[in-house]
Amino acid sequence: MPQSIYELKNITLSYKKTNDKANDNISLTIYKGEIIGILGPNGAGKTTLIKQMIGQLAPTMGTIRFSGQDVLKDTKEVLRQVAYYSQETFALSFLKTWEAIYFTGRLRGLSRTEAKKQTDSILKRLEMSEYRDKLLKKLSGGQRRLISIGTVLIGNAPVMILDEPTNELDPLKRKLVWEIIKERNRNGTTIILVTHNILEAEKVVHRVAVIDRGKLLAVDRVAELKRRVDQRMRLEMITYNGNHEKIQEKLAAFGTVEEVEETRLHMLVEKESAAAIIELIQDDDLYISQFSLIPPSLEDVYSKINEQEDV
Ligand SMILES: Nc1ncnc2c1ncn2[C@@H]1O[C@H](COP(=O)(O)OP(=O)(O)OP(=O)(O)O)[C@@H](O)[C@H]1O
C-alpha cells in the first residue's frame, strides 16, 4: 500500500470579494514518491489549491494534512519539507544568480560548504554556470526561470511543488527541466506539478488530477485518462456558405456540432464513426470546403471528463 504524504479533505475556498468557490469540495490523496500532475484551464483553481497546501491560504472549509500534520498548524515544518516553485518571478532581482540559489539553501538549513557545493552542481546541471555572477535582473526571462528552478532544487526537499516549471523555456531547456524532474523523482522526491501542457506532462506524471471551475473532475493514471479520451477525435469543418442547422441535422446521430467561428465548426466524434461521418459531410448540399480529423486537445479532455464525471 503506498504511503500518503498529503491528505486533502473537502477543500473549499471562496475568495471574500467575489464569494465564488475557487475550490469546491476537493478531496485528494497524494502518495509518497509519485509525480502527480494538476491539470486545468486558466482560473480552474490550481494555484489556489497549491497555496493552501503550503499554508499560504486557509481553506474556507476542509482540512489538509501533510505527513499527518495539519498544514495550518505546522506550516513551518511543511515549508521545511516542501519546495515551491511559483509562477511569480523573483523579487530578489538584485542578487547574483549563484547567491539566489545559495541563500535559499542556507535558509533551508544547509551549511555554508554544503550550500556552496549544491549551488555549483545545480548551476552546472541547469547549464547556467557561465551566468553565476550575473545579476538576476540582467538575465532573460527564461534564464531567470531556470535559476528559480535551481532555488527549488537546493536542499533536496522531499516534496517539490512546481507551478508551470517550463513556462518561457525554449524546447531544449524544457527537455532539460523534465529530465531533472524525473531524476529527482527517481531519487524519491514526491513531485506535484501544475500545468496546462498535457502533452509534455503526460511523459513524466504517474497520475493526473483534473480540476475545472474549482471542482476535481477526475484523478487517474495517465494511461487510463488517455484511454477515456482517445476514443474520440475532433472533426473540424470549414464552410463558407453552409447552413449550420442542416449540417447539425445531418450529423445529429453522432453528436453536437459547435460553431467555433462563423465559418468554422467542430464536433467530437468517436473513432469508429469517423468514416461514416466523413462520407456524410462530403454531400455537396452542405458546402463543407475543408475538413480534418485531429487528435483530442486538452480542451477535449476537459469536455469529455466533464460529461462523464459528476464528482
Ligand atoms: N486573490 C484573489 N481574489 C479573488 N479571486 C481570486 C484571487 N486569486 C484567484 N482568484 C479567482 O479564483 C479562481 C481560481 O484561480 P487560480 O489562480 O487558483 O486558478 P489557476 O487554475 O491557477 O489558473 P491559471 O492556470 O490561470 O494560473 C479564479 O476565478 C480567480 O479569478
Which tens digits make up the pLDDT trace of 273-284? 888 898 888 887
How close is the Cα of 12 to the center of ligand 1, in Å?
13
Residue-level pLDDT at 311: 40
Q: Whose CA is nearest to atom 25 of ligand 1?
A: 42
**Where does the pLDDT of residue 110 fall: very low under 50, low under 70, confident under 90, or very high at 90 and above?**
very high
Q: Whose CA is nearest to atom 2 of ligand 1?
A: 15
Please identify which residue in the block is written with the cell numbers 531524476: 183
Per-residue pLDDT, averaged over 93-98, amounts to 89
Per-residue pLDDT, averaged over 67-77, amounts to 93
For residue 26, pLDDT over 90 is answered with yes
- Show contacts of 275-282: CB within 8 Å, 24+ apart: 277/235, 277/251, 280/250, 280/251, 281/237, 281/247, 281/250, 281/251
Per-residue pLDDT, averaged over 22-51, amounts to 93
The larger pLDDT score, comparing residue 188 to residue 311, is at: 188
Of the candidates 216, 156, 204, the residue with the CA atom closest to the CA atom of residue 36: 204
Query: Which of 21, 48, 212 best tests ligand 1's pocket when mutated (most atoms within 8 Å of CB)?
Result: 48
Give the range with max mean pLDDT: 11-25, 125-139, 268-282: 125-139
Per-residue pLDDT, averaged over 166-183, amounts to 92
Residue-level pLDDT at 242: 67
Could you tell me which residues come within 8 angstroms of residue 26 by beta carbon, excluding any fewer than 6 positions away?
A: 8, 10, 11, 12, 45, 49, 62, 211, 214, 215, 216
DSSP characters over 179-244 = HHHHHHHHTT-EEEEEES-HHHHTTT-SEEEEEETTEEEEEEEHHHHHHHHHTEEEEEEEESS--H
Three cell numbers at 183? 531524476
The per-residue pLDDT of the chain, averaged, comes to 88
The larger pLDDT score, comparing residue 308 to residue 208, is at: 208
User: Is the Cβ atom of 22 under 6 angstroms away from ligand 1?
Assistant: yes
User: Is there a contact between 27 and 10 (Cβ–Cβ < 8 Å)?
Assistant: yes
**Where does the pLDDT of residue 262 fall: very low under 50, low under 70, confident under 90, or very high at 90 and above?**
confident
Residue-level pLDDT at 54: 95
Instruction: Sketch out the chain's domains with CATH numbers.
Output: 4-227 (3.40.50.300), 231-308 (3.30.70.980)
Ligand 1 atom nearest 23 alpha carbon: 14
Per-residue pLDDT, averaged over 100-115, amounts to 94
CA dihedral (23, 223, 303, 298) in degrees, to 10, reads: 90
Query: Which of 21, 24, 46 best tests ligand 1's pocket when mutated (most atoms within 8 Å of CB)?
Result: 46
The predicted-structure confidence for 145-167, as pLDDT tens digits, reads as follows 999 999 999 999 999 999 989 88
How close is the Cα of 91 to the center of ligand 1, in Å?
21
User: Is the Cβ atom of 298 under 6 angstroms away from ligand 1?
Assistant: no
Residue-level pLDDT at 230: 65
Q: What is the DSSP-derived secondary structure letter of residue 134? A: S
The predicted-structure confidence for 114-128, as pLDDT tens digits, reads as follows 999 999 999 999 999
Residue-level pLDDT at 307: 64
Q: Whose CA is nearest to atom 27 of ligand 1?
A: 42
Per-residue pLDDT, averaged over 168-178, amounts to 91
**Where does the pLDDT of residue 222 fall: very low under 50, low under 70, confident under 90, or very high at 90 and above?**
confident
Per-residue pLDDT, averaged over 89-110, amounts to 87
204, HSE (Cβ side, Cα atoms, 13 Å):
30
Give the distance, in angstroms, between the CA of residue 198 and the centroid of all CA atoms in the same chain: 7
Ligand 1 atom nearest 41 alpha carbon: 25
User: Is there a contact between 97 and 122 (Cβ–Cβ < 8 Å)?
Assistant: no
Per-residue pLDDT, averaged over 162-191, amounts to 93
Could you tell me which residues come within 8 angstroms of residue 299 by beta carbon, excluding any fewer than 6 positions away?
A: 41
How close is the Cα of 259 to the center of ligand 1, in Å?
28
The larger pLDDT score, comparing residue 40 to residue 117, is at: 117
In whole angstroms, what is the distance from residue 311 CA to residue 220 CA?
13
